[in-house]
Amino acid sequence: MTQELPPDVIAQLTGLGRAITPDLVQTTWALLTPFHEKVGYTAPKIHRDLKYGDHPRHRLDVHTAGEQATATPAPVFVFVHGGGFVGGDKTQPGSPAYDHIGAWAVRNGWVGVTITYRLAPDHTWPAGAQDVAAAVDWIRENIAGYGGDPARIVVAGHSAGCVHVASYLTGQGGGSLDGVRGAGLLSGFYHIPDEGRGELERTYYADAPSETISTLPGLLETDIPLIFAVADRDPEFSHYQVARLTEAWFARKQSVPQVIWSDGHNHVSQIGSIGVDDLALGAQLARFVERVTEA
């Protein structure tokens, strides 16, 4: 069944505007949580805090159907949270975030993995990409034990998590791309200018030059299928990224990239819409995962 939010709730989310403030984050989740509670936002079995490295934040959760798991290894959907390079977690007490993505993955017949990674300012570029690479290494080695297929992995990230996934895909964090069949790049950025970096970008990238850290050139060359998303009320910088991506993609490929427009949503409710507002992002993303992981 297609999950939808009532139009008045979407209108409220739209009305919160484009600036990512603590108030927007709090109000957005307050609006969404009752709908997640109705649908259910925890998978039947969650294996918590498995370690994929030495740092305390090298942890991931594996979301599965538990006893209902099928005999055929399932596609694996990996989610990398946002938080401006300096915050965020795979789980937030009292919030559906981001167990709801694991639950949604399991409802789609996949294994879900939500990861946490090291943060700036202690850990700067390319630490995020290195951690995504390490998590995918762990998944490739271990996920069969949870019913997942190590040869059918899709990695998605939101906001700063999207930036880390793009950075991983383009080799900035090292590691292997074996088994990665596609990636979802959700409201992040790919071109990081030298001038005009915000405080969070300066914290993570310091003075590393644009040509070293921008992932756009690498994304244009990768063979891994990509799906992008932008929220209706995403900040201008996210929209700028889509404009620039579209221009560069067309110049390189004579086609435009697949960009999902999360209608009516803000930066936070876009990812919060997964599982409760299918048309905003989830249904298109699921179709992409099904297509690229087809056996």
Q: Binding residues for its own copies, per CB under 8 A?
A: 2, 7, 230, 232, 236, 239-240, 242-243, 246-247, 249-250, 254-256, 258-261, 263-264, 279, 283-284, 287-288, 290-291, 294
CB of 210 to its own copies, least distance (A): 19
Comparison of 7 and 22: residue with beta carbon closer to its own copies:
7
Comparison of 60 and 185: residue with beta carbon closer to its own copies:
185
Write down the residue that tokens 């991983």 correspond to.
Answer: 168
Strand 59-64 versus strand 45-51 pairing type: antiparallel
CB of 275 to its own copies, least distance (A): 15
Angle (deg, nearest 10), helices 7-15 and 22-39: 160
Comparison of 131 and 278: residue with beta carbon closer to its own copies:
278
> Which of left, alpha, beta for 254 (phi over 0: left; psi -120 to 50: alpha)?
left
CB of 136 to its own copies, least distance (A): 25
Integer-rounded Cα Rg, in Å, for the chain is 18
CB of 64 to its own copies, least distance (A): 24
Comparison of 67 and 294: residue with beta carbon closer to its own copies:
294
Cα(50)–Cα(232) distance, integer angstroms: 35
Question: Distance between alpha carbon 39 and the CA centroid of its chain, in Å?
Answer: 21
CB of 234 to its own copies, least distance (A): 8
**Segments in 170-254 forming alpha helices (H):** 199-205, 210-213, 216-221, 236-253
Comparison of 131 and 232: residue with beta carbon closer to its own copies:
232
User: For the chain, how many helices (H) and strands (E)?
Assistant: 11, 8
CB of 69 to its own copies, least distance (A): 23
What's the burial of 8, exposed, middle or buried (CB within 10 Å: 0-12/13-18/19+)?
A: exposed
CB of 13 to its own copies, least distance (A): 13
Comparison of 137 and 290: residue with beta carbon closer to its own copies:
290
Picking from 90, 250, 224, the residue whose alpha carbon sits closest to that of residue 157 is 90
Length of the chain: 295
Comparison of 102 and 264: residue with beta carbon closer to its own copies:
264
Tokens at 57, concatenated: 């934040």
Strand, helix or coil for residue 76: strand
Residues forming beta bridges with residue 64, ordered by sequence position:
45
